[in-house]
Amino acid sequence: MAASIVLGMSSSRCSRRGLFFLPISLAFTSSVLLFLYVYYTSKLYVHPPEFSKINPQAPVRVGKSQQMNNQISQEVGSINENDDAFHDRSLFMAEYKEMNKSLKIYAYPYKKDDPFANVMLPVDSEPKGNYASESYFKKSLFESHFITNDPSEAELFYLPFSIASLRHDKRVGVGGIQEFIREYILNISQSYPFWNRTGGADHFYVACHSVGRSAMEKAVQVKLNAIQVVCSSSYFLPGYVSHKDASIPQIWPRKAEPPTRLPYQRKKLAFYAGAMNSKVREFLVKAWENDSEISGFEVNTARIGDALYYGCVPVVLADHYDLPYADILKWDSFSVVVSTWDIPFLKKILQEISENEYLKLQRKVMSVREHFQWHDLPVDYDAFHMVMFELWLRRSHVRTLRG
């Protein structure tokens, strides 16, 4: 899960707060890395790396005149339309159409009177809070045309347990989740033939709570073989396998239409969101807590989703983190990715982004944020369909194992 800082232009609530929003990885904890950090930053200070976009001689911009604001407004319409946020839009559209037509998923069935129906079935109420993505996905899937009652039609099998619900269930709790999952996998492997056919490689589960990081410790086949669709997608986490597993955006549900504050109306350079619970965050705050152009406080953890919702350009400080939809979207077209080594130069890096470059980034933010929104009734290209597409991309590996 990524923490965040917001830098620059936000809107509404995040607004009046500026240009960029920074999500930060929780990794970076070992003393060895801290030693390397001190060692390398001394070199970086003397010889700034090219990827940092640092120009030590460049003056610091402190504000924008109304003339510049007008210029920005005029330039919005002149951005190259071929500068796409997709790796390959035409391929995506063709594959998306095929996915919508043919993908079938079998969900292991449970009745409403099952003792753990609260864990296995979709919630009746509207999903809320930090872990709403997990609930929204299940609810949307069960009501979609992707579900089949005939397992012979299915390309993928859904393990419908909810880590967030298990955490709050007094019969299980945090301490009992690992054993619950172990027993659950044992049960379906003995009751159905599908798990044993591929060792679980054509199965998947969805989890957004951080407890999910260790939930599979007693179910090794799930960790090694199944597709884990998770919000905590750091390479440092035990069991997460890039390309096999997929990253789902953690999104705080909002009913209102996203704000439309224009770039020239945004005045703050940066906003930070997150608790001081990692070395990266501590160093970031230590470096910039007295800077008047970077402000912030602890907010909810759905930081990338919040950044995009409010029209902020995300600034990502995460060296080893799978960003949501990375197989589909070019994150460098609508965000700024900064190495954690470059925290001391962060403000300079952001200030060296030209007005035209910023406009391109912010325009792409506005074009991709529909992919980071959940709906009571899913619509094409929203978060539900994008996660489904991530699963679709992984089905070819499953076919190979079956064949």
Residue 283 pLDDT: 60
Q: Is the pLDDT of residue 313 over 80?
A: yes
Least confident of 66-70, 80-84, 140-144, 273-277: 66-70
- Between residues 179 and 340, the one the model is more confident about: 179
* pLDDT, average across residues 303-313: 88
> Residue 81 above 60 pLDDT?
no
At 65 the pLDDT is 35
Q: What is the 3-state secondary structure (H, E, C) of 144-181?
A: CCCECCCHHHCCEEECCCCHHHHHHCCCCHHHHHHHHH
More confident residue, 138 or 262: 138
Stretch 334-355: mean pLDDT: 88
Residues near 290 by beta carbon (within 8 Å), at least 6 away in sequence: none
Most confident of 297-301, 319-323, 347-351: 347-351
* Helices (H) then strands (E): counts for the chain: 14, 11
Q: What is the pLDDT of residue 316?
A: 84
With 70 as the cut, is the pLDDT of residue 358 above it? yes
One-letter amino acid of 175: G
Q: What is the pLDDT of residue 257?
A: 75
* Predicted local distance difference test score (pLDDT) of residue 58: 36
Q: Which of 42-46, 136-140, 364-368, 373-377 bottoms out in mean pLDDT, i.e. has the lowest?
A: 42-46
Predicted confidence band of residue 268 (pLDDT cuts 50, 70, 90): low
Of 68-77, 157-166, 261-270, 345-354, the range with the highest mean pLDDT is 157-166
Determine the Cα–Cα distance for residues 192 and 207; give it in Å rounded to an integer.
Answer: 23
- Residues 269, 181: Cα–Cα separation, whole Å: 45
- Extract the tokens encoding 76: 């919005």
Higher pLDDT, 20 or 350: 350
* pLDDT exceeds cutoff 80 at 38: no
Higher pLDDT, 272 or 197: 197
Does 320 score more than 70 pLDDT?
Answer: yes
What pLDDT score was predicted for residue 266? 66
Q: How far apart are CA 134 and CA 162, in angstroms?
A: 7
Q: Give the residues across from 23 on adjacent strands.
A: 4
190-223: burial string, b at 16+ Cβ within 10 Å, e else: eeeebbeebebbbbbbbbbbbbbbebbbbbebbb
What is the pLDDT averaged over residues 84-109?
A: 97
Instruction: Check residue 375 and give its pLDDT.
Output: 93
Cα 173 versus chain centre, distance: 26
pLDDT in tens, 276-303: 556 655 666 666 565 555 554 433 357 8
- Looking only at the bridges linking them, the beta strands covering 270-273 and 294-296 are parallel
pTM of this prediction? 0.75
Angstrom distance (rounded) from CA 241 to CA 77: 41
| Alpha carbon distances (Å) from 154 to 19, 149, 308, 390, 399 | 45, 9, 34, 16, 11
Q: Report, as an integer, the average pLDDT of 381-397.
A: 93
Q: What is the pLDDT of residues 196-251, one digit of tens each?
A: 999 999 999 999 887 887 899 999 999 999 999 998 777 666 678 888 999 999 89
Q: Is 13's pLDDT higher than 60? A: no
How many CA atoms lie less than 13 Å away from 254 in the CB half-sphere?
20
- Give the pLDDT band (50/70/90) at residue 271: low
Look at residue 285 in the predicted model and tell me its pLDDT: 64
